[in-house]
């Protein structure tokens, strides 16, 4: 039996165990609640960290992609400037330097110059670079390498941009991007201060922004740029963790302990209840604050964060979700998620997936990252990236979804796929065959891979090509040693290109162009060679034809006696010249190669050349319709006229022109002289005809004046008036003589003369003519040779040139007369159509006057041409000089420039024979007379009547015939002797010479006296009378006529025309 003490002990024990049990249960409940709250907090941190990681990764990917894309665009657009060493200034944040890399992987140029010196480096020595170069070269698309430690400090990654042109890989533009320079700009250190983030590439940490609590990273997100993946990790900093961590779990745990202790003590039940109530209110407030902070964090996320309960209703909707889907938080909360953002065709699958997860705990989208279509408020669909996680909160099942709008990424991926498809199509349709060769034991081994279009190129299948020994058995035997030597160079140089003949499967050889590039591993060992074959048979055949054609062209080009050259259509630079051009222009081939067409043109002609070239280019390089004449300048500064024929050609792949030049300087000079001579001859013929007719009129005036004066005598009042008439007629006669001198129709009486004597005899007269303001200087050569000419005419030449010089020096100056013996050679004679080689005597008249321009010189010897004021000179002075000198067998040269004075040089043939003494002329007193019979033949009636009257008044018997026929008839009917025939030289239908010869055939003793206003070859040779011919120049005076008639009649019998 149990006593009272035992009952008390049991009761006490029960009362002790009860509070202990209550305390244990309370503590356990408090501990479980604490752990649940801590789990919710951790889940919340993981979700927030994942959102922060994705947000940071998105910022980094966007910032890197923008700068990489900019570099790719610049590299593709301006790669030639980088390759050719031109200035390269590219300002992209993070870009440290830009490299031009040859297809072999060797860095040819690095810019800027002050950056790291990478020129000459082999990028294939590093595995990442080698793979990037190989893949970019194959695909034609830009690639990025993984991060690479820098020699100094930090890391960098390379952006490789392949550059292709002319059907082959030209090289690579490689950008060196510094992580230390790029990441702080894209991810500023001050951004997201509550979160720690780090950028990693594999196990290598590239950039850190703060440290997470406890050194633990709670989430990560990938960053993909040009095929290379890096990761962004995120975690809360201690400050954020302290801010987010709730006091509720501790409160709950403490409250549970207190409750347990209070129950155990069985005291203070009312107070404990009140404390628990207050604690519950505080816990609820703490939870609300925590939820508010959680919403703020969610609203700051860059992705849409949506939470739904197990019934599919929205319980959380952040600001980004409002932006992406178009529903406000108030509109979204409480509604079914499927009705808001899931397209109709997916809603049934969404419902089944939710049911399956609720039943089995497994779902097709839980804890996975998938891409699908979502619905906006306006009904439009767009692609999204979705990550869904399931979690429990306060015993309730919730689903959190992170949604990222990937419209832009999807568009970029589509563009990339399209580009890849185009590239695949290009590779498939390319005429070039790609292949790779293994490198074993330091030598090239059998092909490891070949593109399928090899069968189209060579006729062999891929299997046949990969068979060992296939290549060596089909290379042309003559080419194989050379090709093997060149391929050996590949192992040292890293790149080789060669051309050789290869047997096609269907027979015959085809020309192939092979390009091989060596690839090395990270240790620098050669592992593989990538190559391509291109069929260049057509090009080789064309080159052979071109070579044969060029050999023919070169033979014709070099052997042509005329200068020929080829010049560039754009720059006008000489590309080739033949030997004749070198000889004719005086420049060497090296000098020609540094010159253009502008350099052989006078400076004043260059604008005309530029205009002509512009017109020709507008005419689409049409050849000239006919040769053209241009002025060219030789090396010795001589300017020549050349006739150019041009045709467009392609020379060494460049558009150009083939030009043939013919020097026409001499031809043009002779043409100009011939034209001038023809013009002077025509004007002279006209002047001679005018002078002839005018002389007949002057003869009538002079003759009747003489007769009238004889009749009236000096005492008659009208005698002096008649004298003035005679003087006017004499002045007019001087003009006609000048015209005759110019036209070379004047009768000369040449004798052998010493020009020094002629100059000396005229010196006093010249001093009176030129005046005191002009100094006369004579420089006469000693032992001067003799000339044959009419002294009076040569004196006229000197006087006319002196007067012309005086008029050119109105303010005074110096007049210099020189004589000299000269010998004109054949070369000089060829330059003057009126010059003949041999010994000559030169008479030069120089002045220091105002000179003449080319235009004035071209008209200098034309009759009536003058630059003097009206009334000063007739314009016949120099024309007379020209006529006298030409009639004397010489020629005149003129040297003059404006402001430099003028020199006339007269060249007369030197007389080499013996000089005969001059005959003394007979003089008589008074007018001669006679009683002989004279036959007068003159077609000018007035002159004939006058001569008839003069002769009859002097006692002669005169028979007159107006024409040769009438004169011969008259002579035939006259039985008595006819002592003299006085006849005009120029008569209608028969010359005076012919008529005289006809008459003398029957009357040999009849003398003949010819008269004319100008000479004719009938009685003279170039104005010099034949031996035994008597001549009277019109117009003549009465005394001159009577004296000449008497002289002829008194001459010895038998002297007459011969």
> 61 with 156, same domain?
yes
778's CB contacts (< 8 A; 6+ apart) are 759, 760, 763, 816, 817, 818
| Mean local confidence (pLDDT), 441-464 | 85
CA–CA gap between residue 368 and residue 391 (Å, rounded): 14
- Nearest CA to 497 out of 480, 481, 483, 511 is that of 483
- Nearest CA to 755 out of 819, 690, 679 is that of 819
Residue-wise DSSP of 589-630 = HHHHHT-BGGGGS-GGGHHHHHHHHHHHHHTTTPPPSS-EEE
> 900 with 1009, same domain?
no
Q: Which residue has the tokens 């260059």?
A: 606
Strands of 509-520's sheet, edge to edge?
443-450, 433-440, 526-535, 509-520, 495-503
Q: Is the pLDDT of residue 1008 over 60?
A: yes
CA–CA gap between residue 73 and residue 224 (Å, rounded): 19
CA 609 to chain centre: 15
- Nearest CA to 585 out of 664, 638, 659 is that of 638
232-236, 293-297, 441-445, 477-481 — which is least confidently predicted?
293-297
CA–CA gap between residue 805 and residue 544 (Å, rounded): 72
Higher-confidence residue of 403 and 768: namely 403
- Nearest CA to 325 out of 304, 344, 345, 307 is that of 304
Q: Which of 596, 631, 663 is the last residue of a domain?
A: 663
> 467 with 566, same domain?
no
Q: What is the pLDDT of residue 594?
A: 94
CATH classification at residue 793: 3.30.565.10
41-55, 57-71, 92-106, 307-321 — which is least confidently predicted?
41-55
| Mean local confidence (pLDDT), 961-990 | 90
Distances from the Cα of 779 to the Cαs of 461, 691, 788, 902, in angstroms? 102, 37, 21, 17
Q: Is the pLDDT of residue 784 over 70?
A: yes
Q: Identify the band that residue 424 occupies on the pLDDT scale cut at 50, 70 and 90.
A: low
Q: What is the pLDDT of residue 1017?
A: 45
> 401 with 452, same domain?
no
Q: Per the domain annotation, does 668 fall within a domain? A: no
Q: Identify the band that residue 158 occupies on the pLDDT scale cut at 50, 70 and 90.
A: very high
Q: What is the pLDDT of residue 921?
A: 44
CA–CA gap between residue 337 and residue 401 (Å, rounded): 11
Neighbours of 635 (CB within 10 A): 11
Q: What is the pLDDT of residue 689?
A: 64
Provide the terminal-to-terminal Cα distance of the chain, rounded to the nearest Å.
210
Note whether 124 and 133 are within 8 A (CB).
Answer: yes
Q: Per the domain annotation, does 586 fall within a domain? A: yes
Q: Which residue has the tokens 């979690």?
A: 391
| Mean local confidence (pLDDT), 866-871 | 62
Q: What is the pLDDT of residue 249?
A: 53
Dihedral over alpha carbons 801, 807, 810, 816 (to 10 degrees): 0
Distances from the Cα of 326 to the Cαs of 33, 332, 335, 787, 928, in angstroms? 38, 10, 14, 123, 146
What pairing do the DSSP bridges indicate for beta strands 433-440 and 526-535?
antiparallel
Tokens for 203?
Answer: 């196990």
Note whether 435 and 531 are within 8 A (CB).
Answer: yes
For residue 122, give the DSSP letter. Answer: B
Note whether 847 and 812 are within 8 A (CB).
Answer: no
> 93 with 124, same domain?
yes
> 62 with 172, same domain?
yes
Q: Which of 389, 405, 421 is the last residue of a domain?
A: 405
Q: What is the pLDDT of residue 1018?
A: 46
Tokens for 363?
Answer: 């779902």
Q: What is the pLDDT of residue 1015?
A: 54
Q: Is the pLDDT of residue 922 over 70?
A: no
Q: Per the domain annotation, does 738 fall within a domain? A: no
CATH classification at residue 1016: 3.40.50.2300
> 374 with 444, same domain?
no
The domain total for the chain is: 6
Note whether 33 and 279 are within 8 A (CB).
Answer: no
Q: What is the CA radius of gyration of the chain?
A: 62
- Of the chain, the percentage scoring pLDDT greater than 90 comes to 22
Neighbours of 422 (CB within 10 A): 11
Q: Is the pLDDT of residue 580 over 80?
A: yes
642's CB contacts (< 8 A; 6+ apart) are 563, 629, 630, 631, 632, 661, 662, 663, 664, 665
Tens-place pLDDT, residues 53-89: 888 888 888 888 888 888 888 888 888 888 888 888 8
- Nearest CA to 602 out of 653, 628, 639 is that of 639
Q: Which residue has the tokens 């997100």?
A: 221
1029's CB contacts (< 8 A; 6+ apart) are 1010, 1019, 1020, 1057, 1058
> 873 with 974, same domain?
no
- Mean model confidence pLDDT for the chain: 81
CA 107 to chain centre: 32
Higher-confidence residue of 117 and 1039: namely 1039
Q: Per the domain annotation, does 260 fall within a domain? A: no
Note whether 789 and 1023 are within 8 A (CB).
Answer: no
Higher-confidence residue of 247 and 496: namely 496
Q: Is the pLDDT of residue 6 over 80?
A: no
136's CB contacts (< 8 A; 6+ apart) are 142, 143, 160, 161, 162, 172
CA 689 to chain centre: 63
The strand pairing partners of 371, in sequence order, are: 385
Q: Is the pLDDT of residue 745 over 90?
A: no
Q: What is the pTM of this model?
A: 0.35
Q: Identify the band that residue 14 occupies on the pLDDT scale cut at 50, 70 and 90.
A: very low
Range of the domain at 1001: 933-1050
Q: Is the pLDDT of residue 910 over 60?
A: yes
Q: What is the pLDDT of residue 13?
A: 46
Tens-place pLDDT, residues 697-726: 777 888 788 888 888 888 888 888 888 887
Q: Angle at which helices 248-265 and 4-83 pack, to 10 degrees?
A: 180
122-136, 307-321, 725-739 — which is least confidently predicted?
725-739
CA–CA gap between residue 63 and residue 857 (Å, rounded): 83
> 94 with 212, same domain?
yes
Q: Per the domain annotation, does 331 fall within a domain? A: yes
pLDDT winner (highest mean) among 392-401, 824-833, 906-915, 949-958 = 949-958
Q: Per the domain annotation, does 725 fall within a domain? A: no
Higher-confidence residue of 256 and 903: namely 903
Higher-confidence residue of 140 and 364: namely 140
Q: Identify the band that residue 917 occupies on the pLDDT scale cut at 50, 70 and 90.
A: very low
Q: Identify the band that residue 4 occupies on the pLDDT scale cut at 50, 70 and 90.
A: very low
Q: Identify the band that residue 380 occupies on the pLDDT scale cut at 50, 70 and 90.
A: very high
CATH classification at residue 366: 3.30.450.20
Q: Which of 637, 663, 689 is the last residue of a domain?
A: 663
Residue-wise DSSP of 966-1005 = HHHHHHHH--S---EEEEESS-SSS-HHHHHHHHHTT-TT
> 70 with 160, same domain?
yes
> 445 with 493, same domain?
yes
Query: What's the residue count for the chain?
Result: 1058
Q: What is the pLDDT of residue 94?
A: 85
Q: What is the pLDDT of residue 932?
A: 92
> 896 with 1000, same domain?
no
CA–CA gap between residue 956 and residue 232 (Å, rounded): 147
Q: Identify the band that residue 535 occupies on the pLDDT scale cut at 50, 70 and 90.
A: very high
The values of phi and psi at residue 676, to 5°, are -65, -40
Tens-place pLDDT, residues 21-61: 655 665 666 566 556 556 666 777 787 888 888 888 888 88
Higher-confidence residue of 933 and 628: namely 933
CA–CA gap between residue 776 and residue 816 (Å, rounded): 6
CA–CA gap between residue 816 and residue 904 (Å, rounded): 10
Q: Per the domain annotation, does 291 fall within a domain? A: no
| Mean local confidence (pLDDT), 510-516 | 93
Q: Is the pLDDT of residue 268 over 80?
A: no
Q: What is the pLDDT of residue 980?
A: 94
55-64, 632-641, 654-663, 751-760 — which is least confidently predicted?
55-64
Q: Per the domain annotation, does 885 fall within a domain? A: yes
| Mean local confidence (pLDDT), 752-775 | 87
């Amino acid at each position: 039996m149990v006593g009272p003490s035992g009952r008390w002990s049991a009761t006490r024990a029960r009362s002790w165990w009860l509070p202990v049990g209550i305390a244990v249960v309370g503590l356990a409940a408090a501990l479980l609640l604490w752990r649940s709250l801590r789990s919710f907090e951790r889940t919340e941190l993981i979700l927030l960290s994942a959102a922060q990681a994705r947000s940071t990764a998105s910022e980094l990917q966007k910032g890197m992609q923008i700068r990489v894309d900019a570099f790719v665009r610049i590299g593709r657009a301006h790669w030639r400037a980088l390759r050719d060493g031109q200035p390269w200034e590219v300002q992209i944040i993070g870009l440290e330097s830009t490299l031009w890399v040859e297809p072999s992987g060797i860095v040819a140029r690095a810019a800027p110059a002050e950056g790291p010196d990478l020129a000459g480096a082999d990028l294939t020595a590093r595995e990442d670079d080698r793979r990037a170069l190989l893949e970019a070269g194959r695909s034609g698309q830009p690639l990025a390498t993984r991060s690479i430690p820098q020699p100094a400090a930090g890391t960098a990654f390379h952006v490789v941009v392949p550059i292709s042109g002319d059907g082959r890989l030209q090289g690579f533009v490689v950008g060196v991007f510094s992580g230390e320079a790029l990441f702080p700009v894209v991810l500023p250190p001050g951004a997201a201060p509550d979160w720690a983030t780090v950028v990693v590439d594999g196990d290598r940490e590239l950039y850190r922004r703060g440290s997470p609590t406890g050194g633990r990273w709670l989430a990560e997100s990938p960053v993909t740029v040009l095929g290379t993946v890096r990761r962004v990790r995120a975690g809360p900093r201690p400050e954020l963790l302290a801010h987010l961590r709730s006091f509720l779990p501790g409160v709950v745990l403490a409250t549970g302990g207190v409750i347990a202790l209070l129950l155990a003590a069985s005291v203070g039940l009312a107070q404990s209840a009140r404390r628990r109530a207050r604690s519950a209110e505080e816990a609820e407030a703490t939870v609300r604050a925590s939820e508010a902070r959680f919403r703020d964090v969610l609203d700051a996320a860059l992705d849409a964060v949506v939470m739904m309960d197990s019934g599919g209703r929205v319980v959380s909707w952040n600001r980004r979700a409002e932006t992406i889907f178009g529903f406000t938080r108030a509109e979204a909360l409480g509604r079914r998620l499927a009705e808001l953002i899931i397209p109709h065709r997916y809603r049934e699958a969404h419902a089944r997936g939710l049911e399956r997860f609720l039943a089995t705990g497994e779902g097709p989208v839980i804890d996975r990252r998938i891409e699908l279509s979502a619905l906006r408020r306006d009904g439009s669909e767009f692609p999204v990236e979705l990550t869904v996680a399931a979690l429990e909160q306060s015993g309730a099942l919730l689903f959190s979804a992170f949604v990222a709008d990937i419209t832009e990424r999807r568009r970029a991926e589509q563009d990339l796929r399209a580009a890849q498809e185009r590239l695949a199509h290009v590779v498939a349709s390319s005429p070039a065959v790609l292949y790779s060769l293994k490198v074993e034991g330091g030598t090239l081994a059998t092909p490891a891979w070949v593109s399928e279009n090899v069968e189209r190129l060579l006729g062999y299948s891929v299997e046949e090509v990969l068979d060992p020994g296939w290549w060596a058995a089909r290379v042309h035997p003559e080419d194989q040693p050379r090709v093997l030597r060149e391929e050996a160079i590949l192992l040292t140089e890293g790149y080789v290109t060669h051309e050789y003949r290869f047997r096609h499967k269907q027979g015959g050889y085809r020309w192939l162009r092979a390009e091989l590039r060596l690839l090395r591993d990270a240790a620098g060992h050669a592992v593989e060679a990538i190559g391509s074959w291109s069929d260049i048979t057509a090009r080789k055949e064309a080159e052979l034809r071109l070579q044969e054609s060029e050999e023919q062209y070169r033979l014709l080009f070099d052997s042509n006696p005329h200068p020929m050259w080829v010049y560039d259509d754009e720059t006008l630079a000489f590309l080739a010249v033949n030997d004749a051009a070198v000889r004719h222009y005086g420049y060497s081939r090296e000098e020609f190669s540094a010159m253009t067409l502008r350099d052989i043109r006078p400076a004043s002609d260059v604008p005309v050349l530029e205009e002509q070239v512009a017109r020709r280019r507008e005419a689409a390089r049409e050849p000239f319709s006919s040769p053209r004449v241009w002025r060219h300048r030789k090396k010795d500064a001589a300017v020549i006229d050349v006739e150019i024929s041009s045709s467009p050609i392609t020379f060494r792949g460049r558009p150009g022109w083939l030009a043939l030049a013919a020097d026409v300087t001499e031809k043009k000079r002779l043409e100009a002289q011939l034209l001038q001579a023809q013009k002077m001859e025509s004007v002279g013929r006209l002047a001679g005809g005018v002078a002839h007719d005018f002389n007949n009129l002057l003869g009538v005036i002079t003759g009747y004046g003489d007769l009238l004066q004889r009749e009236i005598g000096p005492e008659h009042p009208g005698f002096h008036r008649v004298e003035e008439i005679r003087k006017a007629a004499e002045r007019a006669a001087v003009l006609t003589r000048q015209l005759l001198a110019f036209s070379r129709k004047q009768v000369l009486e040449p004798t052998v003369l010493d020009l020094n004597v002629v100059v000396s005899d005229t010196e006093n007269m010249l001093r009176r003519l030129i005046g005191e303001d002009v100094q006369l200087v004579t420089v006469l050569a000693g032992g001067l040779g003799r000339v044959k000419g009419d002294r009076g005419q040569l004196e006229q030449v000197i006087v006319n040139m002196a007067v012309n010089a005086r008029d050119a020096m109105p303010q005074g100056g110096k007049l210099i007369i020189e004589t000299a013996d000269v010998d004109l050679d054949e070369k000089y004679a060829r330059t003057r159509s009126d010059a003949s080689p041999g010994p000559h005597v030169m008479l030069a008249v120089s002045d220091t006057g105002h000179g003449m321009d080319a235009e004035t010189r071209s008209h200098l010897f034309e009759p009536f041409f003058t630059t003097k004021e009206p009334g000063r000179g007739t314009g016949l002075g120099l024309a007379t000089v020209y006529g006298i000198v030409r009639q004397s067998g010489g020629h005149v040269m003129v040297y003059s420039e404006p402001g430099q004075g003028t020199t006339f040089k007269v060249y007369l043939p030197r007389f080499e024979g013996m000089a005969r003494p001059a005959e003394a002329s007979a003089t008589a007193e008074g007018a001669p007379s006679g009683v002989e019979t004279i036959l007068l033949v003159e077609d000018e009636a007035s002159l004939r009547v006058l001569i008839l009257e003069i002769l009859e008044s002097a006692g002669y018997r005169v028979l007159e015939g107006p024409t040769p026929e009438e004169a011969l008839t008259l002579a035939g009917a006259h039985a008595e002797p006819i002592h003299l025939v006085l006849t005009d030289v120029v008569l209608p239908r028969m010359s005076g010479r012919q008529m005289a010869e006809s008459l003398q055939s029957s009357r040999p003793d009849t003398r003949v006296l010819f008269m004319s206003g100008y000479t004719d070859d009938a009685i003279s040779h170039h104005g010099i009378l034949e031996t035994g011919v008597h001549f009277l120049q019109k117009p003549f005076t009465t005394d001159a006529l009577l004296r000449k008639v008497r002289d002829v009649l008194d001459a010895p019998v038998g002297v007459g025309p011969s």
